[in-house]
Amino acid sequence: MKRILGIDYGEKRVGLALTDLLQIIASPFKTIPNNSSLLQSLKDIIDEHEVEKVVVGMPIGMKGQVTPQTKLVKEFVARLEEHHISVDLEDERLSSISAKKSLIQQGIKTGHNKGLIDQTAAAIILQLYLDRR
């Protein structure tokens, strides 16, 4: 079996999470900058870690409305699909808040470590996807 890559897409940073080979547990992986080499970085990670699918967190407003971030994520997903990367979407409402709370409960300071919040949010999004399957 191959892994699934979870993505928490942001304008500055992109949080990543990976499943184990049995696709049961999602773990924070890393945070990469959202810059001109983003797609190539993702392709390299997909190849190196034998990823078969990508799950992208879809930001939806609390009342189910489309937000400016929703549009950005849809554009990002379209770019992934243009490069023949298989993508599923997962509702990411409150994932960043949950990630921050989880890290605080573990005694990890989150003030200057937004990258850790992003990759933890990606793991939460990916675990929600796995649990729903």
DSSP string, 77-92: HHHHHHTT--EEEEE-
The pLDDT of 98-103, averaged and rounded, is 61
Look up tokens 């699918």; give the residue: 53
38: nearest Cα among 6, 79, 70, 72 = 79
| pTM more than 0.75 | yes
**Which CATH number is correct for 3-132, 3.20.20.70, 3.30.420.140, 3.50.50.60, 3.40.50.10490?**
3.30.420.140
For 56-78, the pLDDT digits (tens) are 999 876 676 777 888 999 999 99
Domain residue extents for the chain: 3-132
Looking at 18-113, list the stretches that DSSP marks H as alpha helix, in order from N- to C-terminal side.
Answer: 38-48, 68-82, 95-105
Q: How many residues does the chain have?
A: 133
Q: Which residue has the higher pLDDT, 126 or 63?
A: 126
Q: What are phi and psi of 118, to 5 degrees?
A: -60, -45
For 2-37, the pLDDT digits (tens) are 999 999 999 999 999 999 999 999 999 999 999 999
Residue 98 banded pLDDT, cuts 50, 70, 90: low
